[in-house]
Amino acid sequence: MRPNTGSNSVSILDDVEAIRRIDLGNMGMMISSFPALLKKAVELSRSLVLPRDYRSVKEIVVCGMGGSAIGGDLFRDLSQRKIPLSVSVIRDYDLPRHVDERSLVVAVSYSGNTEETLESFKQAYGRGSRMVAIASNGLLEKACSKLKIPFLGVPSGYTPRSALPLLFIPLLKLAEEIGFPLVGEGELDEACRLIEKYNSKLTPETPLSQNPAKQLAAGLHEKLPIIYSLGHLKSVALRYKDQINENAKMRAMCDQLPEANHNEIETWEKVDFKEILHVVFIDSRFKNPYVAESIGALVSSIEREEVGLSMVKPLGETMLEEVLSAIILGDWLSYYLAILRGVDPAPVRLINNLKKKHEERTKYLEKFEEWLAETGEDNRKT
Amino acid sequence: MRPNTGSNSVSILDDVEAIRRIDLGNMGMMISSFPALLKKAVELSRSLVLPRDYRSVKEIVVCGMGGSAIGGDLFRDLSQRKIPLSVSVIRDYDLPRHVDERSLVVAVSYSGNTEETLESFKQAYGRGSRMVAIASNGLLEKACSKLKIPFLGVPSGYTPRSALPLLFIPLLKLAEEIGFPLVGEGELDEACRLIEKYNSKLTPETPLSQNPAKQLAAGLHEKLPIIYSLGHLKSVALRYKDQINENAKMRAMCDQLPEANHNEIETWEKVDFKEILHVVFIDSRFKNPYVAESIGALVSSIEREEVGLSMVKPLGETMLEEVLSAIILGDWLSYYLAILRGVDPAPVRLINNLKKKHEERTKYLEKFEEWLAETGEDNRKT
């Protein structure tokens, strides 16, 4: 079975001109900026200063959607072993009841106008939570300015998904500000250097024969990708899925070990549609030894069924480097999949149509502005 | 494209004898027992009494894997609006650092011998956490008995996935015990009655023409199911996926609103493999009005591509009834999918092989027993 849409042959991946003709929205430029955005994010994060009393919070709650939320997941995975506070990510309108004046609520919306995030922000304000927001613009910036809430402004002009370094790295600084440094300054600089070097191996100018992202894309061309990950890279698989969805407008699945060995593995017993499946397994040098031992069982089940399998070994000596190198590889992978499908990676027509029509009907942004007009710092229940 | 395995025609769903010949492991009996297990769970839960000082915990952490973990997710979704404590579910060996002596750690393992859960249990004990365990047997029972940790023993003889009521309902009692009643006694009894009645509509004896589970299965036969859910039913979609994986040995995807509208929706723009996709949308009467408004966009994108879509409207007047009625429908759905594929639903050969070989190599259970032999109540850092 072939996909029911016209697809390019893999050789297009070495035709830089042809790639440019498909990439009308300039996503290639945006992904290429990943190392520069990383450096920019490190620099910008220095300006994030939080009030002293934020050090007494009981938990960190990151509110965001889509490309603005995934930085929260990566941060949570990294912080699990290092921060004595629970970190949760809320992708919805309503805050859980446990969020109160002792919670640190981080509202992340690249546009600054994401409805769900604004609503969570408003609810957090009503509960007297410690707050901070990250955005390039929009009502989130306006609200922080009026309500005197710490705000980190990041450069605009990217898609939220390509702005990931700007939305993720500040969370590391935020942890440091409340007393829990996750990475040293040197570690961040080192990671920036590694990613800059690695990126040059992944851009369209590097041919398929030497380009791991193009090679991965060639394996996944006209397939349904299944991404497995583990340990501190659990959410990296979700990033791959989301990037494949948005850039290539293509379906993908993700799952994690050790949980997949308790249910998903059964799908490798009597495999339907095996000719369209291709597995990407994102490994880590930091995995728990028992998980390491059980990877073989899943892998051999997949191999026995003769389903395609690509192993990704992220680069780097630190957990952070693994996260960032795995992500930039996946970002380029999703880009090349778009090219192979002949779809312009940058525009997300269905998401934008939905947002527009939704806003016309709910008038949420107007309601938020009205709330803001009526609200002052002194209204807070603290 | 057809699946590459022999499949039965839909008419087999009305042939009770033929169903029995496939269901050698008696999964039909186990799913039929859901209402009885629900009642049993309500009764058993009464015996769960926790020390008074458990009322001062800062969070609830449920540790479990697969069918023993999903009750924790359902509980977390239900508790979001009602409990001022964060609830998290850990499906891994290592506990996050925030788990300490002020955490309530609930170890759930139907067999009582799940390696990941035992390791989390051991770590929680080392940190002086408040603890409670739920199991039918195994080292978890033994450890609780020796270490004087509250333990709820549940009947054995089921698969972990079919024992869900026994592993989920006690969490509601646990919440009540620490001061946060989620449901009233009457509410539980009412739910038991509803589920008993509903179950009789879903069993093999009820013909396809009047059986919503058989009808759903007929729609998903030879397809790749995509399950969407929302609100307090978010984890119900995961339960559907896991049950389809384990009972039917069949692949499935799950996703949630509103997040899916920020990435997944783009996969409905240029749809590959559309002839094998079929969407199941699990709705709720308790959804946030803004989410309600945005469902239409996703649904019309799916319909425009002429991909099959089944809407599930869970029964019941309460959130708990919705959860339970959606789950029993999904359990039967996964059962009928197994029958249509001609696979015996109960055995999970790959999971069991993996566990066995893994244990042979790691000798984890022996190590746990050694730890237990050396450990006493007084060793706790409190």
CA dihedral sign, ordered A357, A360, A362, A364: positive
For residue A94, which residues of chain B lie inside 8 Å, CB to CB? Answer: 80-81, 288
Average pLDDT of the segment spanning A134-140: 97
* Beta-bridge mates of residue B63: B90, B107
A125 falls within a domain = yes
Catalytic residue among A119, A177, A246, A321: A246
Task: Output the pLDDT for position A341.
Answer: 96
Residue B177 among the catalytic residues: no
Segments in chain A forming alpha helices (H): 16-22, 27-32, 34-45, 70-79, 115-126, 138-147, 164-177, 185-200, 212-220, 234-248, 289-304, 319-341, 349-362, 364-374
Chain B positions in Cβ-Cβ contact with residue A258 (cut-off 8 Å): 65, 91-93, 116
* pLDDT band for position A4 (cuts 50, 70, 90): low
From the list B226, B211, B236, the residue with the least C-alpha distance to B339 is: B211
Q: Is residue A189 part of a domain?
A: no
Pick among A1, A7, A86, A366 to test the B interface (most B CBs inside 10 A): A86
pLDDT tens, residue by residue, B209-244: 999 999 999 999 999 999 999 999 999 999 999 999
The shortest CB-CB distance from B266 to any of A65, A249, A298 is to: A249
Which strands form A86-90's sheet, in the order they lie side by side?
A86-90, A59-63, A103-108, A130-135, A151-153
A167 and A212, same domain (yes or no): no
- Does A1 have pLDDT greater than 80? no
Instruction: Write out the two tokens for B369.
Output: 């027993």
Judged against a pLDDT cut of 60, whether residue A5 lies above it is answered with no
pLDDT of residue A376: 77
The answer to whether residue A190 sits within a structural domain is no
Residue B44 lies in a domain: no
- Kindly report, residue by residue over A335-356, the tens digit of the pLDDT: 999 999 999 999 999 999 999 9
pLDDT at A6: 60
Cβ-based contacts of B258 with chain A (< 8 Å): 65, 91-93, 116
Q: Are residues B358 and B325 in the same domain?
A: no
pLDDT at A382: 47
Structural domains counted in chain A: 2
Note whether A290 and B359 are within 8 A (CB): no
Co-location of A151 and A229 in the same domain: no
Q: Is the model's pLDDT at B180 over the cut of 70?
A: yes
The answer to whether residue B102 sits within a structural domain is: yes
pLDDT at residue B357 is higher than 50: yes
Q: Is the Cα torsion angle A181, A186, A187, A189 positive or negative in sign?
A: positive
> Do residue A259 and residue A365 come from a single domain?
no
Residue closest to B264 by CA, chosen among B277, B251, B275: B277
Confidence of residue B376 (pLDDT cuts 50, 70, 90): confident
Q: Does the beta-carbon distance from B83 to A98 stay under 8 Å?
A: yes
CATH of the domain at A250: 3.40.50.10490
Cα–Cα distance for residue pair B167/B136, rounded to 1 Å? 10
Bridge partners (DSSP) of residue B153 are: B135
Residue A204 C-alpha, separation from nearest chain B C-alpha, in angstroms: 24
Give the DSSP per-residue string, B139-175.
HHHHHHHHHT--EEE---SS-TTTTHHHHHHHHHHHH
Is B66 within 8 Å of A263 when comparing Cβ atoms?
A: yes
Which pLDDT tens digit goes with each residue over B189-199?
999 999 999 99
Of the partner residues B1, B270, B288, the one whose CB lies closest to the CB of residue A341:
B270
Q: Which residues of chain B are within 8 Å of residue A115 when distances are taken between CB atoms?
A: 290
Nearest to B134 by CA among B125, B126, B124, B144: B144
B246 is catalytic: yes
DSSP code of residue B283: -
Q: What pLDDT is recorded for position B382?
A: 47
In the structure, what pLDDT confidence band is assigned to residue B185 with cuts at 50, 70 and 90?
A: confident
Q: What is the token pair recorded at A135?
A: 């955005």
Q: Which two tokens stand for residue B68?
A: 């023993």
Domain assignment present for residue A236? The answer is: yes
Question: Do residues A164 and A290 both lie within one domain?
Answer: no
Tell me what the mean pLDDT of segment A67-83 comes to.
Answer: 96
In the structure, what pLDDT confidence band is assigned to residue B5 with cuts at 50, 70 and 90?
A: low
**pLDDT tens digits, residue range B34-48?**
999 999 999 999 999
Q: Which residue has the tokens 């395609």?
A: A308
Mark whether B283 and B361 lie in a shared domain: no
Nearest to A42 by CA among A191, A142, A143: A191
B48-70 pLDDT, tens digit each: 999 999 999 999 999 999 999 99
Do A326 and A223 lie in a common domain? yes
- The verdict on B16 and B81 lying in the same domain is no
Are residue B332 and residue B357 in the same domain, yes or no?
no
pLDDT value of residue B7: 75
Average pLDDT for residues A91-98, to the nearest whole number?
98
Give yes or no: residues B230 and B306 share one domain.
yes
What ipTM does this complex have?
Answer: 0.96
CB contact under 8 A, B273 and A4: yes
Task: Of A95-99, B84-88, B372-376, give the lowest mean pLDDT range.
Answer: B372-376
* Dist CA A4 CA B147 (whole Å): 60
* Average pLDDT, integer, range A68-77: 98
Instruction: Please check the confidence at residue B287 and state whether its pLDDT lies above 50.
Output: yes
| pLDDT tens profile A247-287 | 999 999 999 999 999 999 999 999 999 999 999 999 999 99
Q: Assess whether B74 and B153 both reside in one domain.
A: yes
Q: Do A115 and A219 lie in a common domain?
A: no
pLDDT of residue A237 exceeding 70, the answer is yes
Side-chain-side CA neighbours of B316 within 13 Å: the count stands at: 29
pLDDT-derived band of residue B249, with 50, 70 and 90 as boundaries? very high
Spatial distance between the Cα atoms of A105 and A119, rounded to a whole number of angstroms:
12
Please list every residue in chain B whose beta carbon sits closer than 8 Å to the beta carbon of residue A265: 350-351, 354
Residue B269 has pLDDT above 80, yes or no: yes
Q: Has residue A187 been placed in a domain?
A: no
User: Which of B304, B293, B233, B224 has the alpha carbon at shortest distance from B261?
Assistant: B293
Name residue, tokens 């269901």: B23
Output the pLDDT for position A290.
93
Domain residues for the domain of A362 are 34-182+351-376
**Cβ A61 vs Cβ A310: under 8 Å:** no
Cα–chain-centroid distance for residue A68? 7
Tell which of B94, B262, B267, B362 to mutate to test the A interface (max A CBs under 10 Å): B262
Neighbours of A353 (CB within 10 A): 13
- Under the banding of pLDDT at 50, 70 and 90, the label for residue B8 is confident
Those residues with Cβ within 8 angstroms of residue B132's Cβ, 6 or more apart along the chain or in another chain: B48, B50, B54, B104, B105, B106, B107, B149, B150, B151, B152, B174
Whether the CB-CB separation of A16 and A142 falls below 8 Å is answered with no
Name the residue in chain A with its Cα closest to that of B255: A253
To the query of whether residue B322 is one of the catalytic residues in this protein, the response is: no
Domain-embedded: residue A221:
yes
**What is the C-alpha separation between B331 and B214, in angstroms, rounded?**
11
Structure confidence at residue A2 (pLDDT): 60
Rounded CA separation B373/A370 (Å): 64
Q: Quick one: what percent of chain A has pLDDT higher than 70?
A: 97
| CB spacing of B272 vs A222 below 8 angstroms | yes
Helices A164-177 and A70-79: angle between axes, nearest 10 degrees: 40
